[in-house]
Amino acid sequence: MWPIEIGARGCAKSAKRFAMSWRKGGRDGRGYHHGNLREALISAALDLIGQKGPAGVTFAEAARMAGVSTAAPYRHFRDREALLADVARQGFEKLSAVLENAWDGGRPNATRAFERTGRAYLGFAREEPAYFASMFESGIPLGSNPQLQASADRAFSVLREAAEAAAAGAPEGRRPPALMVALHIWAMTHGIAALFGRADGPLRTIPMPPEELLEAGLLVYLQGLGLGPDS
């Protein structure tokens, strides 16, 4: 599993080096079969997104980076869109893991865990801009791919769970719908990430880190729900 991670994070050439070293357990350049082309293509696509955005991803270039012929990708993906959808799916799964880890069952209290989860979302957008772009800016409709949809739903369900816990702490009688709270938090977090938190140039520079902006925003919002900072 971990070689994939390394491939996904490296520079343009890392995908090819990764591909080569993977072949037949390290015998560079040997071996007719690639052995792990599917993941190598995903890794190449991530590099390309990082360099040129989702529009810059082509089958031909990805194949070149993986060190195979231009016809090889067709063994694994129907077309360019299928490749991008798989990248996005992986991205949602990584995001789910990151968020679940940050939420940590709502310890020590909902507010603190909430902030941690929001920060994790921003951290993901900042550290994995390629994944983030594939998920939200590649123009792939989620509905077209059940697996992709399921992965996205799983990521959202973490926010949903967090919102349930937060809503439960609200004063009796004015308990807000948890779904609504989850959507508000998601929207604010996503808005901050998309507008100010991108590593590849924010839309507008702001006089504070995105994390602090989000933390302040969450506090104001939770305050508005009647939730103090310790609930």
Annotate each residue in 136-155 with x if it binds a second copy (CB under 8 A) or - if it does not, as one string: xx-x-xxx--------xx--
Looking at the Cβ atoms of 35 and 224, the one nearer to a second copy is: 224
227 φψ region: left (φ > 0), alpha (ψ -120 to 50), beta (else):
beta
- The distance of closest approach from Cβ of residue 81 to DNA in the complex, given in angstroms and rounded to an integer, is 9
Looking at the Cβ atoms of 56 and 224, the one nearer to DNA is: 56
Q: Which of 12, 13, 31, 107 binds DNA (CB under 7 A)?
A: 31
Report the distance separating Cα 59 and Cα 80, nearest Å.
6
- The distance of closest approach from Cβ of residue 152 to a second copy in the complex, given in angstroms and rounded to an integer, is 7
Give the other-Cβ count within 10 Å of 174's Cβ: 8
* 179 belongs to the binding site for a second copy (CB under 8 A): yes
186: phi then psi, degrees, rounded to nearest 5 = -60, -45
Cis before residue 108, ω within 30 degrees of 0?
yes
Of 19, 49, 142, 156, the residue nearest 89 (C-alpha): 142
Q: Which of 1, 71, 173, 204 binds a second copy (CB under 8 A)?
A: 204
| Count, residues near a second copy per rule CB under 8 A | 43
Report the distance separating Cα 96 and Cα 113, nearest Å.
15
- Choose the one of DNA, a second copy, none that binds residue 127, judging by a C-beta under 5 to 8 angstroms depending on kind: none
* Binding region for DNA (CB under 7 A) out of 31-39, 130-138, 185-193, 216-224: 31-39
Of 91, 98, 105, 163, the residue nearest 133 (C-alpha): 91
- The distance of closest approach from Cβ of residue 190 to a second copy in the complex, given in angstroms and rounded to an integer, is 4
Looking at the Cβ atoms of 36 and 109, the one nearer to DNA is: 36
Q: Are 87 and 131 in contact (CB under 8 A)?
A: yes
Of 36, 28, 43, 27, the residue nearest 72 (C-alpha): 36
Q: Are 86 and 77 in contact (CB under 8 A)?
A: yes
Question: Which chain residues interact with DNA by CB under 7 A?
Answer: 24, 31-37, 58-61, 67-72, 74-76, 79-80
Question: Which chain residues interact with a second copy by CB under 8 A?
Answer: 53-55, 136-137, 139, 141-143, 152-153, 156, 176, 179-180, 183-184, 186-192, 194-196, 201, 203-204, 206-208, 213, 216-217, 219-225
